[in-house]
Amino acid sequence: MIIDFHVHISHVDDYLDPLIKNMDLVGIDRAVIFSRNSDVTAEALEMRPERLSGFSFLNPTKGERAVEELERDIGERGFCGLKLGPSVDSFYPNDEKVYPIYAKAQDLQIPVLFHTGTVYRDPKNPGKTKVKYSQPIYLDDVARDFPELILIAAHSGRPFLEQMIAVSHLPNVYVDIAWSQLPLDFYEETVRKMLLAFGPDRIIYGSDTGTRHDSYGADVDRVIKMFKETTNLLNNVIGLDHNSVAKIMGGNASRLLKKTTG
């Protein structure tokens, strides 16, 4: 099974159909979607449950309200994971004020995907998203304090590859290799280093489609572009064995999404 583990969605109309169409074109079976508006994720899931898995994407600094929101998304709406944006919500992942959300996620046995690494700059509010919150090293505390919780560092923490490697021996830390704001020229180095540090069992493919808030239609092409880029890199440039490629392109994700992928 081929899974794109990292797809943003801000609305359904004129986005969902092209998304599924592009998945079909390259043979992607399932996409993990998330939105700051959970209603949008829920609506998309209702329309294409056989192709989509939904993650809750909430602000964990809201305390008890965030925990209740997560319970509702997982229990009532069929979501199967949690996405967190430390830079978007200005919190350090190891701040104990957000620990209740990890405790709940661990209870629910769902994975938590963290944005790590470089973060976009909102032209209207450049001070809003600071990269200091997105350093992979803060996952060290979380992984040790919640040993049963699966943490996935999105974008492999680019460019903080050393920090990413530093936490790679913690068995509950995974990385996704989704697109980053940084030039794609960093991609090969990233994937090679993650292979050395994490091995093929804890690397997950994702495209990071849907991040261009101004033009979603055009951005849906990233589903195809990143899939081609990544399969070419793994198969032809690095020459990874078929079994390992299959794990990265969907096998590992499928294991973490067991709720929705059967």
Q: Which residues bind Zn ion (CB under 5 A)?
A: 208
Nearest by Cα to 154 from 199, 128, 116: 116
Q: How far apart are CA 99 and CA 122, in angstroms?
A: 28
Report in angstroms how near the CB of residue 155 gets to Zn ion at its nearest: 7
Report in angstroms how near the CB of residue 56 gets to Zn ion at its nearest: 15
Report in angstroms how near the CB of residue 8 gets to Zn ion at its nearest: 6
Among residues 110 and 153, whose Cβ is nearest to Zn ion?
153
Report in angstroms how near the CB of residue 179 gets to Zn ion at its nearest: 8
Helix (H) or strand (E) holding 182: none
Q: How far apart are CA 165 and CA 204, in angstroms?
A: 15
End-to-end CA distance of the chain: 11
Q: How far apart are CA 138 and CA 13, in angstroms?
A: 37
Among residues 33 and 257, whose Cβ is nearest to Zn ion?
33
Report in angstroms how near the CB of residue 75 gets to Zn ion at its nearest: 25
Q: Is 139 exposed, middle or buried (0-12, 13-18, 19+ CB in 10 A)?
A: buried
Q: How far apart are CA 262 and CA 251, in angstroms?
A: 12
Report in angstroms how near the CB of residue 5 gets to Zn ion at its nearest: 10
User: What three-state secondary structure class fits 41?
Assistant: helix
Among residues 200 and 210, whose Cβ is nearest to Zn ion?
210
Question: Bridge partners of 209?
Answer: 7
Phi-psi region of 43 (alpha: psi -120 to 50; beta: other; left: phi over 0): alpha
Amino acid at 78: G
